[in-house]
Amino acid sequence: MKISEVGNKGFSLVELIVVVSVLSILSSIALTLFNVFKERAADTLVKVSMLNTFKECKTSLFLEEEIPTFTLDLGLHSTNGYYQFYQEYDYEPRDDGTIPPTILGNCIGPLGPHRIGVKKVKGINKKGELWINLDTGEKIEKGGLSWN
């Protein structure tokens, strides 16, 4: 067998580089779209969880439970770090200037209903906030986040 009769049966280096380049461009586009969908899912999850918390508190109040409570879930374990949870309540400072503590998960405090909220810590509308009053259902939007 002569050396000149051996055929070329593989891909050239240039062809392989072109294929790898095209695949890497397509995968970067796909990852960007995946992150957008992941953030939208986190946005929806937090809103639905907050509304469910409001409904849970209203049910507790309707059933006249002694201490109306809600489940501390808010779906935050599934938001991939996009949100932080907060609970606000009205209080009167004690004589020594300290703030009386509350129990997380209580719907009503000594001076009225609690408010729960989330603050977005990364992504679109970073530093935006959503709040809901656990008695009236009043919704508050700040920093570009919307309940819609």
Read off the pLDDT of residues 112-132 as tens digits, 9 standing for 90 and up.
888 999 999 999 999 999 999
Q: Is residue 110 part of a domain?
A: yes
Structural domain range at position 92: 12-142
pLDDT score for 1: 53
User: Is pLDDT above 70 for 5?
Assistant: no
Whether the CB-CB separation of 121 and 104 falls below 8 Å is answered with: no
User: Is pLDDT above 60 for 4?
Assistant: no
pLDDT score for 106: 85
Alpha carbon of 111 to those of 20, 34, 50, 89, 126: distances in Å?
A: 64, 44, 22, 8, 32
Domain count, the chain: 1
Helical (H) or strand (E) element with 51: helix 13-62
pLDDT score for 77: 63
Q: Is residue 3 part of a domain?
A: no
Whether the CB-CB separation of 92 and 109 falls below 8 Å is answered with: no
* pLDDT class of 139 with cuts at 50, 70, 90: very high
First to last CA, the chain: 76
User: Is pLDDT above 90 for 2?
Assistant: no
Q: Is residue 23 part of a domain?
A: yes
Q: Exposure of 25 by Cβ count < 10 A (0-12 exposed, 13-18 middle, 19+ buried)? A: exposed
Q: Is residue 88 part of a domain?
A: yes
pLDDT score for 92: 83
Read off the pLDDT of residues 83-109 as tens digits, 9 standing for 90 and up.
988 888 888 888 898 887 777 788 887
